[in-house]
């Protein structure tokens, strides 16, 4: 058995208005200091959690997410990698990814990150338009994206990705089109593009609830997906998951693992893990995480064991989103019959259906959730 690893870095300088991730600013931690002071000793805790993990085979992929992992010192992240390598070993071609805020890196930091073994980087670009970034409450200067990506290229990163968000209140089709064009002008190998989801309890969620900002029409948001998909495809980026496109060979293997249900261990507060149908999660707050580990206890807060039915439902939910789709033979006759209207309407590939696969067409990707609901009735 092998495990992939997700390493959670729960710190941000400022919380974005749409964010409901398990992240914390110095003010939220009531520390009154900077990131360096609130994160002091955090890497030692991650290493303590690594020491609790049972032996397994060489690691195929590692992903540093957050939060803003690039706020941490590369030397400290390198200590985590060294501990993982010493205990489990790295598989040949181990993919090691880090998320980055364009404002939190320098050429020197990127060179240091690459030198410790990180070989893939994903920049949070979101938009090329300042007024859209302002609505999202993003802190970075859009001009810094190109600079940071050029630095990453110079530092030796061969796999560089950007994350985009579409459907922000006040974002026009022209705004989105220019964002896509700007992203494609950069020396990148991968793009993620997600429709904005307004979560309850966020700053943006409160603004929408009060009527201060108005979410765009669903049809307009769908049009933006189609615009992006066509532009990406024309530039040599093929979709391999509903919200992800890559140049050939540049797909994110770590995320593919999630969609295919591999085993992974999540390190850090609030991190989730999965092993053979068992799912568990850590305590959310960094202070609780620290207290548990300093007392020699597991940071696990809860767990669940998926039934065979739940495993199958999750398999369908995730695998239908990827380019390989799902095998028709894995569905029963009733499920297959419920898909026939989608096939007739062109939302499923007829060519692949004849080959025994359920694979979404471009229009089908817009209806992925609806199609899954029909299968799982």
For the segment 93-133, what is each residue's pLDDT rounded down to a tens digit? 999 999 999 998 999 999 999 999 999 999 999 999 999 99
pLDDT of residue 198: 79
Same domain? 255 vs 317? no
> Tokens for 37?
């002071």
Residue 7 pLDDT greater than 80, yes or no:
yes
| Within-domain flag for 18 | yes
Q: Are residues 322 and 189 in the same domain?
A: no
Domain of residue 18, CATH code: 3.20.20.70
Query: Is 199 domain-assigned?
Result: yes
Joined together, the tokens standing for residue 161 give: 């990705």
What integer is the mean pLDDT of 41-70? 95
pLDDT for 31? 57
pLDDT score for 34: 76
Specify the pLDDT at position 286.
94
Asked whether residue 30 is assigned to any structural domain, the reply reads: yes
Domain membership flag for residue 151:
yes
The CA-atom distances, in angstroms, between 207 and each of 13, 17, 234 are 22, 9, 37
Task: Report CA-CA distances (Å) from 51 to 55, 57, 63, 376.
Answer: 10, 15, 18, 40
Q: Verify that 321 and 240 share a domain, yes or no.
A: no
Domain-located, residue 61: yes
How confident is residue 32, by pLDDT bands cut at 50, 70 and 90? low
**Beta-sheet strand order (sheet of 159-166):** 238-241, 244-246, 190-195, 159-166, 120-126, 90-100, 59-66, 4-9, 264-267, 272-275, 278-282, 300-305
Question: How far is it, in rounded angstroms, from Cα 230 to Cα 119?
Answer: 28
Q: Mean pLDDT, the chain, as a whole number? A: 94
CA distance 18 to 204: 5
Q: Is the pLDDT of residue 29 over 90?
A: no
- What's the number of domains the chain is made of? 2
3-state SS class at 276? coil
Are 173 and 318 in the same domain? no
SS3 content of the chain, % helix, strand, coil (to 5): 40, 20, 35
Residues 247 and 313 in one domain: no
Asked whether residue 17 falls in the same domain as residue 98, the answer is yes
pLDDT greater than 80 at residue 89: yes
pLDDT mean over 26-49: 83
Pairwise CA distance, residues 264 & 193, whole Å: 24
Q: Per the domain annotation, does 173 fall within a domain? A: yes
Percent of the chain with pLDDT over 90: 82
Q: Which of 195, 227, 259 is the last residue of a domain?
A: 259
Asked, for residue 105, whether it belongs to a domain, the answer is yes
Structure tokens of 143?
């001009």
- How far apart are alpha carbons 241 and 355 in whole angstroms? 20
Contact criterion met (CB below 8 Å) for 192 and 161: yes
Q: Which two tokens stand for residue 13?
A: 């300088």
Beta bridge partners of 100: 123
The C-alpha angle 321, 365, 224, rounded to 5 degrees, equals 125
Q: What pLDDT is attached to residue 320?
A: 97
Together in a domain, 203 and 320:
no
pLDDT value of residue 377: 86
CATH of the domain at 363: 1.10.10
pLDDT in tens, 258-268: 999 999 999 99
Same domain, 140 and 225: yes
| Mean pLDDT for the stretch of residues 295-311 | 96
pLDDT band, very low/low/confident/very high, at 33 (cuts 50, 70, 90): low
Which of 224, 259, 294 delimits the end of a domain?
259
Residue 20 has pLDDT above 80, yes or no: no
Residue with the bigger pLDDT between 37 and 72: it is: 72
Helices 107-115/143-155 angle, 10° precision: 40
Task: Say yes or no: 342 and 226 in one domain.
Answer: no
Q: pLDDT digits over 194-246, tens only? A: 999 877 778 888 888 888 878 888 899 999 999 999 999 999 999 999 999 99
**CB count, 10 Å around CB of 268?**
24
Are both 17 and 157 inside the same structural domain? yes
Residue-wise pLDDT tens digits, 150-178: 999 999 999 999 999 999 999 999 999 99
350-369 per-position pLDDT tens digit? 999 999 999 999 999 999 99
- Residue 21 is classified by DSSP as S
Last-in-domain residue among 197, 232, 259: 259
Side-chain-side CA neighbours of 9 within 13 Å: the count stands at 28
What is the domain extent for residue 70? 4-259
Judged by DSSP in three states, 44 sits in helix
Across residues 251-257, what is the average pLDDT? Answer: 98
Q: Is the same domain home to 214 and 331?
A: no
């Amino acid at each position: 058995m092998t495990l992939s690893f997700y390493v959670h870095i729960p710190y941000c300088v400022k919380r974005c208005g749409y964010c409901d991730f398990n992240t914390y600013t110095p003010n939220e931690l009531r520390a009154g200091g900077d990131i360096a002071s609130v994160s002091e000793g955090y890497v030692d805790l991650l290493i303590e959690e690594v020491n609790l993990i049972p032996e397994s085979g060489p690691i195929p992929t590692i992903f540093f997410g957050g939060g803003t992992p690039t706020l941490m010192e590369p030397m400290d992240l390198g200590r985590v990698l060294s501990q993982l390598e010493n205990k489990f070993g790295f598989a040949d071609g181990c993919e090691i990814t880090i998320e980055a805020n364009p404002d939190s890196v320098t050429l020197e930091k990127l060179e240091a990150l690459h030198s410790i073994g990180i070989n893939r980087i994903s920049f949070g670009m979101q938009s090329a338009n300042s007024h859209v970034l302002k609505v999202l409450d993003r802190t970075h200067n859009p001009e810094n994206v190109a600079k940071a990506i050029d630095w990453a290229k110079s530092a030796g990163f061969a796999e560089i990705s950007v994350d985009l968000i579409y459907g922000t209140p006040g974002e026009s089709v022209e705004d989105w089109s220019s964002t896509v064009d700007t992203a494609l002008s950069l020396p990148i190998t991968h793009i993620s593009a997600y429709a904005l989801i307004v979560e309850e309890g966020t700053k943006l969620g409160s603004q929408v609830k009060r009527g201060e900002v108005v979410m765009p029409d669903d049809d307009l948001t769908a049009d933006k997906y189609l615009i992006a998909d066509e532009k990406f495809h024309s530039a040599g980026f093929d979709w391999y998951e509903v919200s992800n496109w890559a140049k050939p060979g540049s797909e994110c293997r770590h995320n593919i693992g999630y969609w295919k249900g591999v085993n992974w261990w999540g390190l850090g507060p609030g991190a989730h893990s999965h092993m053979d149908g068992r799912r568990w999660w850590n305590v959310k707050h960094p202070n609780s995480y620290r207290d548990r580990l300093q007392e020699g206890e597991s940071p696990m807060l809860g767990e669940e064991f998926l039934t065979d039915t739940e495993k199958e439902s999750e398999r369908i939910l995730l695998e239908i989103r990827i380019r390989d789709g799902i095998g028709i033979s894995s569905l029963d006759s009733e499920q297959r019959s419920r898909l026939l209207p989608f096939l007739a309407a062109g939302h499923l590939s007829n060519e692949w259906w004849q080959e025994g696969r359920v694979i979404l067409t471009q229009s089908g990707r817009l209806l992925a959730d609806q199609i899954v609901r029909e299968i799982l009735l």
